[in-house]
Amino acid sequence: MSNHLLIAGTGRSGTSLLVRLLTKLGLETHVSASGEANWYLDANAGLEDLVHHADAKLPYVAKSPWLYEFVDSVLARDDITIDGVIIPVRNLAEAASSRVVVELQNSHRNHPWMTAEDKVWENWGATPGGVLYSLNPLDEARLLAVGFHHLVERLANAGIPTYLLAFPRFTHDAEYFYSVLKGCLPSGVNVEDVKATYEVVDPDKIRVGTEIAGGAAERIVKSPEKYPSLEELDNAALRRELIKIRGELVSSAASLTETSASLADFQGRNATLEEELRAVRSQQSSLQEELAAKLLAETATGEKLSLLHARTVDLEHELNAAEARILGLEEEVAAKSAAEVTANEELSIFRAQCPLMEREIEALRMRIRGFERALSSKTEELENERLVLKKVRGSASWRITAPLRRVGRLLPKN
């Protein structure tokens, strides 16, 4: 038997931030158990756990926006006790719009030709020959609302403590956060502890309300039935993608600046070594000339000749060491350049292969489903034949004709 505190709801309502805050407050979560695994930076989404199909490693705090799909199965299990369910609640139009913006942003990233379309596509599909789904925020809101109501109704009937937490209010109001969730926080946690965790809050991530044109945002606030147009959401998606690309350009520029600085440093060090090398060679030349002169002038002074020869050998060693240092620096720069080129090539190949791999995986899944259906059909046919044979053998006519079959086996066969 294991106890768990679940996080669910419509999603796009601060659920991932809530996981991080509860981690800071000392609860076991996906982050404390698995780190940043299953985190999708572009969508600011992830940190989820398969509550119904998880093994014994399921953390105490488990987040699953899909809980409404299998809440009955979880409630029916006798090996799990649900201590409570936290449901962040966001303006429905904003929650739906946020999901549509993420979907549109992904479409623009994977299908650049969509930017040139005369109008925004209202429907989309991910599986060849599969279901088409709407990108209209109102349709998305209906799905979220039905799932939300189903979840709350099931939890209410089961008597599960439910904590409704307003988003984005809880991201900046620590006293409100504590007043709603104090029943499921560790003992000893107070408001000041909650305030200390707010260092992980990034206000720039709470953005769909500001991304939508002023008129659309005002309509959402005044009337929950008013939703932004697809064009407004598409513009928001494009702005997000543009900001992301600009960030990557800034990062690339910084990397280029760093590389340029390293190259300039290398060139400076190389120039210094070359000057030292020229000085050593000049000194060597001078010594050689001096040696030659002394050999001519003092052929009898063997001691001085030996000293000069030893000095020449030392200078040659210094020259070789300097040349080796220059060669090492050149190899280091070449290795860094090759590593950078290789990394860029691998990144490009990976980005190009990802969509193809996803399509191949989906095709294999469809073939497996077809094989499973064929096997099920064949099994059912064999079972039906077995039942018919059993029924015939159990009939009165089969028992009456048994002597005739035995006589028939005794008769000679032509």
Query: In three state form, how does the secondary structure of the chain look?
Result: CEEEEEECCCCCCCHHHHHHHHHHCCCCCHHHHHCCCCEECCCCEECCCCCCCCCCCCCCEEECCCHHHHHHHHHHCCCEEEEEEEEEECCHHHHHHHHHHHHHHHHHHHCHHHHHCCCCCCEECCCCCCCCEECCHHHHHHHHHHHHHHHHHHHHHHCCCEEEEECCHHHCCHHHHHHHHHHHCCCCCCHHHHHHHHHHCCHHHCCHHHHCCHHHHHHHHHCCCCCCCHHHHHHHHHHHHHHHHHHHHHHHHHHHHHHHHHHHHHHHHHHHHHHHHHHHHHHHHHHHHHHHHHHHHCCCCHHHHHHHHHHHHHHHHHHHHHHHHHHHHHHHHHHHHHHHHHHHHHHHHHHHHHHHHHHHHHHHHHHHHHHHHHHHHHHHHHHHHHHHHHHHHCCHHHHHCHHHHHHHHHCCCC
pLDDT in tens, 11-27: 989 999 999 999 999 99
Higher pLDDT among residues 145 and 252, named by residue: 145
- Residue 229: band (very low, low, confident or very high) from pLDDT cuts 50, 70, 90: confident
Strand order across the beta sheet in which 61-63 lies: 61-63, 2-7, 80-89, 162-166
pLDDT at residue 224 above 80?
Answer: no
pLDDT at residue 221, rounded to an integer = 47
Sequence-ordered list of residues with C-beta below 8 angstroms from that of 78, at least 6 positions apart, any chain: 1
pLDDT at residue 214 above 60?
Answer: no
Question: C-alpha distances in angstroms, 220 versus 12, 14, 93, 214?
Answer: 16, 19, 7, 10
Nearest to 53 by CA among 39, 69, 38: 69
- Which tokens belong to 168? 């984005």
Number of other CB atoms surrounding residue 58 within 10 Å = 19
Q: What is the mean pLDDT of the segment spanning 127-155? A: 95
Could you tell me if 155 and 110 are in contact, meaning their C-beta atoms sit under 8 angstroms apart?
no
- Which tokens belong to 221? 């606030």
pLDDT in tens, 159-182: 999 999 999 999 999 999 999 999
Nearest to 3 by CA among 73, 83, 84, 76: 83
Q: What is the mean pLDDT of the segment spanning 378-405? A: 80
- The least confident of 56-65, 93-102, 302-311 is 302-311
Could you tell me if 143 and 158 are in contact, meaning their C-beta atoms sit under 8 angstroms apart?
no
- Residue 40: band (very low, low, confident or very high) from pLDDT cuts 50, 70, 90: low
pLDDT at residue 118, rounded to an integer = 84
Encoded amino acid at 92, one letter: L
Question: For the chain, what percent of residues have pLDDT higher than 70?
Answer: 89
Domain 2-92+119-207 of CATH type 3.40.50 = yes
pLDDT at residue 350 above 80?
Answer: no
pLDDT at residue 358 above 80?
Answer: no
pLDDT at residue 215 above 60?
Answer: no
Sequence-ordered list of residues with C-beta below 8 angstroms from that of 284, at least 6 positions apart, any chain: 312, 315, 316, 319
pLDDT at residue 56, rounded to an integer = 58
pLDDT at residue 185, rounded to an integer = 96
SS (H, E, C) 141-181: HHHHHHHHHHHHHHHHHHCCCEEEEECCHHHCCHHHHHHHH
pLDDT at residue 210, rounded to an integer = 65
pLDDT at residue 68, rounded to an integer = 96
Q: What is the mean pLDDT of the segment spanning 73-86? A: 94
pLDDT at residue 312 above 70?
Answer: yes
Q: What is the mean pLDDT of the segment spanning 40-62? A: 77
pLDDT at residue 82, rounded to an integer = 96
pLDDT at residue 412 above 80?
Answer: no
Q: Where are the domains of the chain?
A: 2-92+119-207, 267-371, 376-410
